[in-house]
Amino acid sequence: MLGKKIKKYRDEKKLTQLEIAEVLGVKPATISKYEAGTLEPNIESLKKLAELFGVSVDELLKEDEFDVSKINVLKVLREQKEMKLRGNLYHNTQIIFAYNTNHIEGNKLTEDQTRYIYETNTLLTEKESITNLDDIIETVNHFGLVDYMLDVADEELTEEMIKEFHKILKEGTSDGRKDWFNVGNYKKLANEVGNMKTSLPKNVQKDMVKLLQWYNSLGKIKIEDIIEFHYRFECIHPFQDGNGRIGRIIMFKECLKNNIIPFIILDKNKLFYYRGLKEYKDEKGYLIDTCLNAQDQYIEMIRYYLKY
């Protein structure tokens, strides 16, 4: 914005609005309007400003590059959540995250239905269609899960927090009415992911403690560390069901905590994601590339909604 640039250069030169006005032959109020963006200088004034600031007219007019790395995404999401702001980054993160992470796990709701639930608290259905109640409940629960995650995003990751994530996601579902399912607690029965065997129920507690001790002992967390944690978490598969969604919300949280641009794995990329998990032990690049590609997509969301 030209007005912001004029103020920036004026401050750097330690000049007052009156001093600038005298050089341009205008009133100080005019300089104030320039800086506020309510009035633009003519070409002659632009030339005088450029000469005064020691820059070219082109430099003065050039649009500042939008530096995504300087955006505090957690702060933005929290502010928009509190504002209940519609149609911006938080609003669309909720919809895109809930639709894609649930759809990867077999949820049949469409993105339009997910959006409709979020925006109107009602369900858009086609005539004579049958909708699984658990799909609706888990979609609504995921909205609450994202809100809770934002509340605790800057806190250290703990077993209690991860269990609370699971409880929020699965509470009220048909699974939640099964004693053996153990909502909000570690699995009672053995499970697997793909063809890969996971930690036995008797070993889950020990394996999760070990995983968290390793992760929380790291110094500066990089995105590769978060992806490594995700792979190890999915190998443990600590809950009876919902492990993928819990693992992905943890990755989002940890990116926010460590000022790394977060990402959402899209349903259309789930085969790349599954391949990355399956082959991670021998080749880490597939999963890392999938996550970095998802990060690029979220960066574009940030650019679209926050570039102003």
DSSP codes of every residue in 165-204 = HHHHHHTTSSGGG-GGG-TTS--SS--EETTEE---HHHH
Token pair recorded at residue 53: 């600031």
Task: Quote the pLDDT of residue 162.
Answer: 98
Last residue of a domain, one of 33, 61, 89: 61
Domain holding 298: CATH number?
Answer: 1.10.3290.10
Q: Would you tell me how many other CB atoms lie within 10 Å of the CB of residue 58?
A: 8
Task: Quote the pLDDT of residue 181.
Answer: 94
Both 6 and 110 in one domain: the answer is: no
The count of domains in the chain is 2
Kindly report the pTM of this predicted structure: 0.80
Both 92 and 45 in one domain: the answer is: no
Q: Given its phi and psi angles, is residue 307 left (phi above 0), alpha (psi -120 to 50 degrees) or beta?
A: beta
Both 77 and 54 in one domain: the answer is: no
Both 37 and 83 in one domain: the answer is: no
Amino acid code (one letter) for 279: E
Angle between helices 73-83 and 133-152 (to 10 degrees): 120
Domain holding 22: CATH number?
Answer: 1.10.260.40
Task: Quote the pLDDT of residue 209.
Answer: 98
Task: Quote the pLDDT of residue 308.
Answer: 56
Last residue of a domain, one of 19, 39, 61: 61
Both 179 and 297 in one domain: the answer is: yes
Both 166 and 198 in one domain: the answer is: yes
Please report, in tens digits, the pLDDT of each residue of the chain (308 residues total): 788 889 989 999 999 999 999 999 999 999 999 988 889 999 999 999 999 999 988 888 887 667 788 899 999 999 999 999 999 999 999 999 999 999 999 999 999 999 999 999 998 887 767 889 999 999 999 999 999 999 999 999 999 999 999 999 999 999 989 989 999 999 999 998 877 889 999 999 999 999 999 999 999 999 999 999 999 999 999 999 999 999 999 999 999 999 999 999 999 999 999 999 999 999 999 999 999 999 999 999 999 999 75
Identify the domain containing residue 40 by its residue range. Answer: 2-61
Both 94 and 239 in one domain: the answer is: yes
Last residue of a domain, one of 61, 88, 111: 61
Both 16 and 161 in one domain: the answer is: no
Residues 6+ apart with CB under 8 A from 57: 46, 47, 50
